[in-house]
Amino acid sequence: MLNEHSIKYGYFDILTDEEVRQGLKEYSDWPTYPQLYINGELAGGLDIVKEMIESGELMEMIPKDSIAA
């Protein structure tokens, strides 16, 4: 989904590290994955991000320098 909108991003595979996976659940108070963070803040899980894309809200939140030309 992010690729379709030319959004540059980084990622970490939490399935490879149980401690990180559990810590992220506590940190974000969000029980499911994937989770999208923008500037260090939780934007939401998959369903919420899909809704944000449909409404145009996601592109408004993405820093301009994170969108590929």
Phi-psi region of 39 (alpha: psi -120 to 50; beta: other; left: phi over 0): left
- Whole-number pLDDT of residue 47: 94
Instruction: Over range 25-45, report the average pLDDT.
Output: 90
- Whole-number pLDDT of residue 16: 95
* pTM score: 0.83
- Whole-number pLDDT of residue 69: 77
* Res. 18 pLDDT band, cuts 50 70 90: very high
Instruction: Over range 11-22, report the average pLDDT.
Output: 92
Which residues contact residue 59 at a Cβ distance below 8 angstroms, ignoring those fewer than 6 apart?
Answer: 5, 53, 67
